[in-house]
């Protein structure tokens, strides 16, 4: 008689089993001469629940996060205190703290070990900025006009992993959600065969013709006029002068009509403007296209690191112009002061969950160059206390300090006061959490949401005492340039 997979019961973490019944029984298949990862994903990209984490074009040391999955065995979503868990077609509604429920869920499916360096099974999805309400008592004045879930995570038993350095593609199949035994082994074999069949289909299909670049005649709108943005910044500067905060990250949200294929749009985006932490998520009635350059958290082998970005300059027209821009960025007292404040904030956040004396700055004020701009980046790292898992790390650090401000709580209160619409997914996190405890998440910047026939994307910048409203406004346009160009719209809102 076939046994049924375990259906999650309570949203409270203390009811999850302390020792997992899901010991590792992972099947791993290496695929020689694989098709390109994006061409392979193209065959299933339009299925709800499909998730794609892009390889990093600028580094070769994080290939474990270059992966995709489809047909999740479980989907977790939350809005406020409402939680929906869908397990193999059976949905259940609950109420509670999503972080507590996820803590128990990851422990329930824990594999406990990896195979050949792979995290194995796990979840891909997003944590929206407004999950902050489960961590701190904060106001909710801004209008939540999009009404999207605060969190969506898809749990996969079948994942495709790609190493761009060696051009290796591996498929992992765990047989979840069944417990160990014959049914789990059978499911693992069947699902692995599904993955191999997808490879064969991709090879038969051959290379696809890239979609044409769009031209969008629809007007580009913003949730704040230029004058409104200046007014918001003036209010923030008054708070800084009064000593309420030292810094706050203030953003504006752009929107326009979009009637095309979201995956095809992401294909143009990743080809023209590759990013270190790009991602594509099909969440059913909406899609997420992330072109983020910033890592939020990497958790692996008891270590944690975060890589805040603070400091931006546009690219120059020549090598000499680039060198001059980088020199200005390195020497700018405003940019450097802003950067130091956020590095200190991140050190404080990691200190909540790391062993005493282990938190340190691995890299400081490194300049990273992308297609349209230069960024100043640092890396803060530490050794986790025993028993600290990925969800504990999120609780201690979310949302990232680089996109809130300092002090973090007061900065978030002020953001809610001066930004007219709720951030939703923007400035949250997207990425992978493995049942073995590994986690790699980005900061949700340079990210678009397609819902209905509209596309939304949001950009901002850190405001400090000597910030110029005009320059800060121009920086939001500079950061949105990749989407302006990819969508074929003019630079900045019309009218």
Catalytically active residues are 294, 310
How far apart are the C-alpha atoms of 458 and 447, rounded to whole Å? 7
Taking CA atoms, 213 is separated from 192, 260, 296, 465, 484, in Å, by 36, 11, 31, 41, 12
Q: Which one, of 287, 306, 257, lies nearest residue 455 by Cα?
A: 257
> Which ranges of 280-430 does DSSP label H, i.e. alpha helix?
319-331, 333-351, 390-397, 408-418
Q: Which one, of 333, 486, 304, lies nearest residue 395 by Cα?
A: 304
How far apart are the C-alpha atoms of 380 and 122, rounded to whole Å? 25
From first CA to last CA, the distance across the chain in angstroms is: 67
How far apart are the C-alpha atoms of 138 and 143, rounded to whole Å? 14
Beta-sheet pairing, 247-257 with 454-463: antiparallel
In contact, 335 and 440? CB cutoff 8 Å: no
> Length of the chain, please?
495
How far apart are the C-alpha atoms of 157 and 190, rounded to whole Å? 11
Q: 3-state DSSP call for residue 355?
A: coil
């Amino acid at each position: 008689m076939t046994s049924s997979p375990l259906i999650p019961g309570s949203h409270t973490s203390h009811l999850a089993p302390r020792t997992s019944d899901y010991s590792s029984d992972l099947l791993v298949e290496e695929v020689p001469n694989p098709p390109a990862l994006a061409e392979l994903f193209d065959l299933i990209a339009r299925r709800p629940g499909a998730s794609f984490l892009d390889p990093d074009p600028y580094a070769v040391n994080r290939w474990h996060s270059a992966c995709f999955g489809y047909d999740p065995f479980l989907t977790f979503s939350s809005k406020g205190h409402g939680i929906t868990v869908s397990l193999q077609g059976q949905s259940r509604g609950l109420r509670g703290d999503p972080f507590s429920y996820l803590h128990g869920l990851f422990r329930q499916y824990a594999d406990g070990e990896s195979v050949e360096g792979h995290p194995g099974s796990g979840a891909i999805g997003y944590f929206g900025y407004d999950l902050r309400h489960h961590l701190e008592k904060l106001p909710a004045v801004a209008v939540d006009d999009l009404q999207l879930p605060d969190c969506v995570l898809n749990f996969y038993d079948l994942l495709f992993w790609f190493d761009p350095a060696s051009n290796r593609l591996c498929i992992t199949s765990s047989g979840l959600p069944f417990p160990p035994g014959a049914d789990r082994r059978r499911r693992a074999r069947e699902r692995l065969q599904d993955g191999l069949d997808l490879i064969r289909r991709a090879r038969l299909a051959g290379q696809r013709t890239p979609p044409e670049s769009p031209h969008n005649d629809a007007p580009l709108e913003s949730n704040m006029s230029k004058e409104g943005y200046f007014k918001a910044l003036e209010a923030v500067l008054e708070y800084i002068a009064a000593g309420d905060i030292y810094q706050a990250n203030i953003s504006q949200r752009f929107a326009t009509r979009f009637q095309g294929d979201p995956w095809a749009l992401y294909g143009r985006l990743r080809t023209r403007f590759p990013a270190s932490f790009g991602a594509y998520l099909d969440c059913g009635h909406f899609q997420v296209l992330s072109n983020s350059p910033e890592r939020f958290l990497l958790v692996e082998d008891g270590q944690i690191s975060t890589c805040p970005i603070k400091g931006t300059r546009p690219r120059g027209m020549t090598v000499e112009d680039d060198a001059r821009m980088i020199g200005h960025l390195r020497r700018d007292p405003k940019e450097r002061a802003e950067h130091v404040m956020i590095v200190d904030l991140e050190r404080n956040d990691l200190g909540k969950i790391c062993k005493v004396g282990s938190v340190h700055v691995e890299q400081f004020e490194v300049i990273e160059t992308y297609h349209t701009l230069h960024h100043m980046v640092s890396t803060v790292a530490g050794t986790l206390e025993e028993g600290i898992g990925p969800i504990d790390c999120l609780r201690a650090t979310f949302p990232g300090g680089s996109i809130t401000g300092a002090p973090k709580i007061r900065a978030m209160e002020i953001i809610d006061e001066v930004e007219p619409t709720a951030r939703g997914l923007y400035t949250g996190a997207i990425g992978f959490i493995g049942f073995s405890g590994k986690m790699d998440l980005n900061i949700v910047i340079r990210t678009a949401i397609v819902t209905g026939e509209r596309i939304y994307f949001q950009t901002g910048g850190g405001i400090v005492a000597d910030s110029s409203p005009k320059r800060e406004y121009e920086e939001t346009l500079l950061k949105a340039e990749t989407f302006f160009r990819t969508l074929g719209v003019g630079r900045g809102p019309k009218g």
